[in-house]
Structures are given as C-alpha cells and as structure tokens.
Structure 1
Amino acid sequence: MKELFTSTNLSFLLQGLWLTLYISFISIVLSTLIGTILAVMRNGKNRFLKLLSSIYIEFVRNVPNLLWIFIIFLVFQMKSTPAGITSFTVFTSAALAEIIRGGLNAIDNGQTEAGLSQGFTNFQIFIYIVFPQAIRKMLPAIISQFVTVIKDTSFLYSVIALQELFGKSQILMGKYFEPDQVFALYGIVAATYFVINFIISSFSRRLAKRWEQAAE
C-alpha cells in the first residue's frame, strides 16, 4: 500500500487534476458567455436569431455529451485537449442557455418598463437591472451544471484518451493489482472530485444566502 502513495504517483495524479480543472474552467467560461448570448437570442424579437438559437439549443442538449466528444474529436480531427474543451463548451452552452433563459423570464416585465421610463436603453436595462436579478435566481442551477462539467471530464479518457484525473488513475491502475491498492486509488480520485465539487456547491449556497439576506 505504501508504494502507492509515492511522491511520483501523487505528482502524476496532480497533473491529471490540473488538466481536469483547466478543461472545466475554460469550458465553463466559454459556455457561460455563449449560453447567455443564446438565451438572449431565443428571448429576442428577431425571428431568425430566435429560430437559430432554438435549433441549436434543442438539438445539442438532446444529444449525449459523449457523442459530441466523439464527433468533435473524429470529424474535426482536433487534438485531445482542444477537443475536450470544445465538446464540453458546445454541450454545456446549450444547457446553460435554457437555465439563463429561465432566469431572465422570471424577472417581471415591469422592471424593463421602469427602466425604459427612466431613459435606459434595452442593453442598459439588461446589464444593470434584469441580469443582476436573474443571476440570483439561476445561480443554484448554473453551479449544478458547473459541477456536472467537472465530473463529466472523466469521460474524456475512455473516449479520446485524454489523461485528466480519472485517466491518470486508470494508467496507474495498470501498475497495481491488489484489491486494497485498487480501492485506495479509486478512493483518492473519488475524494478529490467530492472535495472540489463540495467546495463549489458550498460557496454557491453561501453566496445565494448572502444575496437573499441583502435583498431583505
């Protein structure tokens, strides 16, 4: 068992963890930006943009993310890391678009009318009035989607051999065959995913509670 917890093995796993967090962070940032644009397009009055965003959202989110990883890696012949980031961005942006759209629709139209009466443009109303209120309502669902992204990066090794955290653990598994070693290794990986996602979820709950208290 001791030979499993060497500095070399731990460093090896940390490299995988870094790649997991890197792919997740870039995908989440890009997905949030694209998802917001798609949500605004689908809520807008331009019929073409509304139709375009609706087709993208409904088609992408109803196809498994695993398939998008295959498609982007094989069809577009990308390297593993860019393919991972692109596939997660494509899929997550569609999911976030619906979450964001739901949050925007939860804001009373009176807020927009009040902004227009004060001389604000539609863009200013969205940035300063509607979106700040909507983000408070959709934050739990958005964070839940972020957690899903981090967990689902474990697909990448089996699909495109990308050596993220789970992939690194699978490689190490080839060196250790004893049951206690296998359970220990999987325990380390499971605990790592749990700690990261628990911290993110706890931060989300605290932030939502703080916003709720500030609004009272």
Structure 2
Amino acid sequence: MTVESSALYDIPGPKALSRHRLYGGIALLLIAALIGWVVYMLFHTHQFTYAKWQPFEYRGVQDLLLRGLGNTLQAFGWTVLFALPFGALFAAGRLSDHRVVRWLATLVVEFFRAMPVLVMIFFVFVALKVQPLWALVAGLVLYNGSVLAEVFRAGVLAVPKGQREAAFALGMRKTQVMTYVLVPQANRAMLPAIISQLVVALKDTSLGFLITFEEFLHAGKLIATNLDYDLPFIPVVMVIAPIYIGMCLLLSWLARFVERRSRRSPSARGGAPVAKAGVPVGLPPSAQL
C-alpha cells in the first residue's frame, strides 16, 4: 500500500493531525463565544423587544421598504444595462491597433477607474442638475464600466497567443478573431470577475441615499431614525442585511448557472469527431488496401 504525497506540502502525521484538530476545536469555541457574546449584547440592549419590531407590522413601513427595494433593483438594472456595453466598448478601444483610439480609451478608463464613485455621483447630481436616479446610475456606470473594461481586456489577453496566431493564419480579420476565437474562450475566465464587479455595483446603489434617492438603504434609514418607532436601528439592519446578502448570492448562483451551461454547449466543448480505430481517414477508396 503506497501513500500518495503532495508536491505542495508533506502529508501530516498523527501528531500533526492531533494539533490540527486541537486548533480547529479552539477556533470553533472562539467563534461560538463571539456569536454568543453578540447575541447576549443584542438581548441586553433590548433589540428584540416588541416595541422595536412593531414598525414592520405597519403597511406604510412595508410599502416603504418594498418601494426602496424596487428602486434599488431599478438602479442596478440600468447600471448593468449600460456598464457592460461601456466596458466592452472601451476594452475594444484599449485593444485597438490604432494608437490614437488606444490612448483615448486608456485615458477614459484610467480616469474614471481612479475617481471615487461618490465624487462622480455628486458631480452629476449637483453640477449637471440630473435627477437622483440617473445621477446614481451615471456614477455607477462610469466607475464599474471602467473596471469591467479592464476585466474584458485582461480576459482577452489571457487567451493563449497561439489561438490568435492560428486564427490570423486562417485568413480571419481582427474582428472575426475577437468575435469567434478570443471572446468565447475568455468568457468563462472573465465570468467570476464580472459577477464580482456586479455585486459591487449592487452594493454601491446604497450611495443613492446621499443624494436623496429613495433606494432600499434610504428607506431603512427613514425607519431607523424615526423617534416614534423607538429608533429601531439594529432591527432595520437585521431586516435589510439578509436581503442584500440574498441578492448577492443570487448573482453568484446565476454566474454558476451560466458557467455550467457554457460547459455543456458544443462551442465550449469544441473538437471534431474522432474516427474509429482502423478506419482510414482522408484517403480515396482506390488507395485503401
């Protein structure tokens, strides 16, 4: 019986396994103690009293939260709709063979990627007198679109150089090489980074409350700071946070679903059918013996 060894580390022996179990047990105890302390403090500060949770029974509060959630999803939808084409366009510009186009695209991407999102949102809202929704969307599109442009560019450049050279050797134009060879292969590598950036865009919609946009966090802030409801700040956080987490998990699930579908697609699997052994391939009937 042979014991397989790892190229990265040695297989732990009995004493090392005992230490690992001890460390794991201590870590679990510390995490349990921390969770217990947090729960104790929540009860100690009366965060689970009926008075603090009573506002969520009111129809007006429920409508306010639902309206805020709808506005958040609306802002996120418009951001995705514009940020993805923005990123693709300027990624193509950065990959262009024309120096002027490449320099202009680089200038735009680097400028908006370096600018704080909040500064761009306030500039559009205050200087250009744009409505809160579109000021928020504009700031998110400029920032997240610039980051996505770098993601797209890095994904295309990550494809092995031989793929590009083989496509050009077949007589393809650069547009055809990008469309049919490079981008399909780069999609799977880019997908996790794209979804990660969309999660960032979803969370950044919460900046809209600073320009009086009635999104989900703004609705929660109105409830949490209401003196008539005994300032239910922690209950509001406990209601809003799981919904944000659920939306981010939904995006991650969507990414895994798309990745699984791409793996099953014929274009992703590729490859030509292999002939059975013993059957001549490519010879005329007269040459077969």
TM-score using structure 2 length = 0.69
Structure 2, unmatched stretches of 5+, are 1-52, 270-289
Query: C-alpha distance in 1, partners of 2:59/2:180?
Result: 50
Query: How far 1:210 moved relative to its partner?
Result: 5.3
Is residue 2:80 matched to residue 1:51? Answer: no
Query: How far 1:211 moved relative to its partner?
Result: 4.0
Query: How far 1:10 moved relative to its partner?
Result: 1.5
| Letter in structure 1 aligned against 2:217 | F
| Letter in structure 2 aligned against 1:108 | P
1:110 maps to: 162
Is residue 2:272 matched to residue 1:207? Answer: no
TM alignment of 1:1-216, pairs within 5 A: 1-158=53-210, 160-175=211-226, 176-178=228-230, 181-208=232-259, 211=262
Deviates more, 1:143-152 or 1:125-134: 125-134
Query: How far 1:212 moved relative to its partner?
Result: 5.1
Question: Equivalent residue of 1:3, what SS?
Answer: helix
Query: C-alpha distance in 2, partners of 1:80/1:135?
Result: 34
Query: How far 1:177 moved relative to its partner?
Result: 4.6
> May I ask how many residue pairs the two structures share in their alignment?
214
Query: How far 1:213 moved relative to its partner?
Result: 7.0
Higher helix proportion: 1
Question: Equivalent residue of 1:154, what SS?
Answer: helix
Encode CA deviations 1:37-73: one digit per residue, 9 max, x unaligned.
Answer: 1111111111111111111111111111111111111
Assess, with a 3 A threshold, how the Cα gap between structure 1 residues 204 and 130 changes in structure 2: closer, same or farther: same
Query: How far 1:115 moved relative to its partner?
Result: 2.6
| Letter in structure 2 aligned against 1:58 | E
Query: C-alpha distance in 2, partners of 1:53/1:95?
Result: 13
TM-score using structure 1 length = 0.91
Query: C-alpha distance in 1, partners of 2:57/2:147?
Result: 39
Give the number of the structure with larger relative contact order, counting CA–CA contacts within 8 Å between residues 6 or more apart: 1
Query: How far 1:117 moved relative to its partner?
Result: 3.5
Query: C-alpha distance in 1, partners of 2:233/2:224?
Result: 7
Encode CA deviations 1:104-152: one digit per residue, 9 max, x unaligned.
Answer: 1011232223333434332222122211111110110110000001101
Deviates more, 1:46-55 or 1:198-207: 198-207
Query: How far 1:161 moved relative to its partner?
Result: 0.9
Question: Equivalent residue of 1:163, what SS?
Answer: coil
State the identity %: 27
| RMSD, aligned α-carbons | 1.9
